[in-house]
Chains A and B, each alone.
Chain A
Amino acid sequence: MPATMGASTRTAGPGGLRRLAHHTIFWPVVALIALLVANTLYSPDFLAVSILDGHLFGAPIDILRNSAPLLLVSLGMTLVIATRGIDLSVGAVVAIAGALSLSFIATSPNPGSVTTVLVAIAIALGLCLLLGVWNGFLVSVVGIQPIIATLILMTAGRGVAMLITEGQITTVNSAPFKTLGAGFWLGLPAAALIAYGVYVVVALITRRTALGMLVESVGINPSASRLAGVRARTIVWTVFALSGLFSGLAGLILASNVMAADANNAGLFIELDAILAVVIGGTSLQGGKFSLSGTLVGVLIITTLTLTVTIVGISPLVTPLFKALVVIAVTLLQSPRVRERLAARQRQRVAKPEEVAA
C-alpha cells in the first residue's frame, strides 16, 4: 500500500511527498512508526509518559534508555563502515569495559565514592580506546582486512573479560556508578543523555566540518583520496579508535544498568545489531556515504522491536523469526530495485486504462 502511494505521486504529484518517499530514511521511519502503532494497539497507553519520583517514566523513556548502548556502538560502526571497514570486536570491548570497571570498583576500599567511580570509568575507557587503536593499527598500518583484524579481538576479548572477572559475574553496590545506566539527570535517563549527547557531537563534527566528507572520500576510493592529499591512514585509524571508545562507553552503561559484569553475555551479538542498525539506516557496507540520522532510526527500530516482542506477546519460540521478518520487510522496502519493480508494475496498471480511454 505505502509503495503504491509513492509511485502514484511520482507520475502526478507536485514532488514534496515524492521526494520524501525517496529519502533514504523514509521507509525506516515508516517501519518505526508502524512498530509504535502496533504496540499502542496492544497496550493503549504505550506512548504515555508520566512523572514518577521526579523523573519521566514510561515505555518511550525505556526505549530511549535501552537504546543508549546500541546507539553508541552503532555510531562508531557507522564511521568505520563509511571508511569501507567493519568492526566485529565491539561486543568484546563492551564486555571488557564492564568487567574492568566493576572489578576495579569491587576491589577498591570505597566503592561508593565518586572518585573511585570516575577512576574506574577513566581506566575502562582508556583501555577501550587502546583496543580501538590496536584495531586501527592492524587495519591502517599493517593492512589486514578489517573483518579479520577485528575478528582477533572479537574472539580474544571475551577471554580477556573472563580473566578480569575470574569467570564470575562481578556484582557491586555503588550509587554513583548506578546513575550512569539506571539513574536520571534533569528527569531524563542519564544513559540516554550521554549517548544522544555523543551522537549530537559526532554529527556536528562530521557534518559541520569537512571531516565527514573526508571519511566518505576514504570509503569511496582510498587511493584516490590519498593522492588528493587526504590522510587516509590517520582517518581510518581514528574511526577504529573512536569505535573502541564508544563501545567502551556502551559497556559501562550496560554494566551499570544491572550493576553486574557478565563477561559471557554482556554485549553478546551487539556487533550484529549495530551492523543491522547501520544498514537499516541506509549506509552501504561498501563504504562511502553514511547517514547518522539513518543509524539513529535503525537503532530505535531494533530497540523498539525488542520491547514489541514482550508487549505484543510473541511466543519465545518464534521471536527470532518475527524479528527477521520485520528486518527483511524494512530492507526490501528500502531496496531501490524492489521499489522500482513495484513502481513499474503500478505504472503499467495505471497506464492501460488510459490507453483504452484515448
Chain B
Amino acid sequence: MARKMWMRGTVAALSATALLALGACSSEQAPAAEGEETTSYDGGETEEAGDELISIGFSQVGAESGWRAANTKSIQDTLTADNGFDLSFSDAQQKQENQIQAIRSYIAQGVDVISFSPVVETGWGPVLEEAKAADIPVILTDRAVDTEDDTLYESFIGSDFVLEGEMAGEWAVEQYDGEGYQMVELQGTTGSAPAIDRKEGFADAISGSDIEVIDSQTGNFTRTEGKQVMEGFLQKYDEIDLVFAHNDDMGLGAIEAIEAAGMTPGEDIKIITIDAVKDGMQALADGKINYIVECNPLLGPDLAEVAQKVVAGEEVEKRIVVEDKTFDQEAAVEALPSREY
C-alpha cells in the first residue's frame, strides 16, 4: 500500500515536471513559430562579433493578439545584428512577475539597454531603481508605467490612445453630425489603458454634436464577446445608427451580429474601429466597416533609433508618440496589398 502511494507520488511529480517543461516550451516556441530566429542569450558572442553591437534586453507582454504578434515581429526584425543590435527577447506571458524576473536577468547580464512593454501600470519602482543603480537606461514601449519619478526611464514610445479616440470621434462628427445618430460603444477590457483613453478621447470629440451614446458595454477586445454584446444591443434598441468599437476584433464580431439580424453593416449601421489589423482593413475595403484609426504596432524602428541615441549619450524625448494613420474605404483598398500585419 505504502509502495503504491509512493509510486503515485512519483508519477504526479513527473507529470508536474512535464507540465512545467511544456509550459516553458510554449513560451519559447511562440515567437520562434512566427518565423523569427531564436535570440542569443550568450553575452560572449557579442564581444567576439565586435564591440559596436548594442546589447538590448526586451521583455514582451505576451502573444495575446494579432497586434502583439506584429509588434514582436517588428522588434525582432529591426533589432538585428545587421542593424548593430544584439537582442535578447523574452515573452512574459501576461505576467508581471515574469517581466520583473526578465528585467533582473538583463541587469545581471549587464546589457546596454533594457526595453519592455509593461503588462500593468504599477509596481515597477523597485526593479527600475535597480536598473538605474546599475546605470542601464530603460525604454518603455506601447504602454506606460505609473510612477512619480520619471528619471527611472529614458523614453516612452507608443501611440496616444486618447488621440486615437479623438480622431475616431472627429471623423464621426464630420460625417454624421446633424443626423441625430444613436451610437453604441464596445469597450475594451475594463480598466485597461486603451479602453479608458479611447473612450475618453471619443467622448471629448463628439461632445457638442448630436451623436448620442445610448449604451456602452465591454466586449473584452475579443470577437466572440463583441458579437454577443452587439446581439444584446440589437435586442434592446430598435434603432442603432453607429457602433464605435475600441478594436477591430470587437468590430468584426459586431459585423457578424448585425448581419445575423438581417441588416447591412456599414450601411444600416455604421462602424468605426481602432487598430487597423489586416482582417479589419479587409472589412473596411469591403465596406462593412466605415472608418479605422490605426494603432501602429511597428515600434521596432523607433525603438532602434532611441536606443542608439541613448547609448551614444544623446538627449531623447521623454514621450515619443508613434504616428497613427487613419483609413477610410479608399485608403484601405490602396493600403491592403502591402499591409504587413
Contact = CB atoms under 8 A, between A and B. Distances in A.
Contact of B64 (A145, A152, A159, A264): A264
Contact of A262 (B11, B26, B223): B223
Interface stretch (B78-86, B96-104, B154-162, B254-262): B254-262
A52 B224 contact: no
Given A59-B235, A144-B8, A156-B26, A258 B253 contact: yes
B31 A42 contact: no
B334 interface: no
> What is the interface residue range for chain B against chain A?
35 or more
Interface in A155-193: 155-156, 158-160, 162-163, 166-169, 171, 182
Interface string B20-52: 001101110111011100000000000000000
Given A46-B235, A166-B33, A159 B27 contact: yes
Given A155-B19, A155-B22, A168-B66, A163 B8 contact: no
A167 B69 contact: yes
B207 interface: no
Question: Which of A57, A138, A151, A310 counts the most B-chain CB atoms under 10 A from its CB?
Answer: A310
Contacts, number: 135
Contacts of B63: 162, 167, 264
A156 B29 CA distance: 12
A154 B34 CA distance: 23
Contact of A257 (B25, B227, B262): B227
A167 B25 contact: no
Contact of A169 (B16, B27, B249, B261): B249
A159 B256 contact: no
A266 B65 contact: no
A143 interface: yes
Interface string B225-244: 00111011101100000000
Contact of B15 (A43, A58, A144): A144
A108 interface: no
Given A258-B256, A316-B217, A311 B19 contact: no
A143 B34 contact: no
A163 B30 contact: yes
Question: Which of A138, A142, A151, A167 counts the most B-chain CB atoms under 10 A from its CB?
Answer: A167
A222 to B, nearest CB: 15
B224 A254 contact: yes
Interface of A: 42-43, 46, 52-53, 57-59, 62, 66, 138, 142-145, 148-149, 151-152, 155-156, 158-160, 162-163, 166-169, 171, 182, 254, 257-260, 262, 264-266, 306-307, 309-311, 313, 316-317, 319
Interface of B: 8, 11-12, 15-16, 18-19, 22-23, 25-27, 29-31, 33-35, 63-66, 69, 72, 187, 190-191, 215-218, 220, 222-224, 227-229, 231-233, 235-236, 249, 252-253, 256, 260-262, 279
Given A159-B27, A182-B260, 18 more contacts: A57-B260, A58-B235, A144-B11, A145-B12, A148-B15, A148-B16, A151-B19, A155-B22, A156-B23, A159-B26, A166-B35, A169-B65, A260-B223, A264-B63, A307-B231, A307-B235, A309-B217, A310-B215
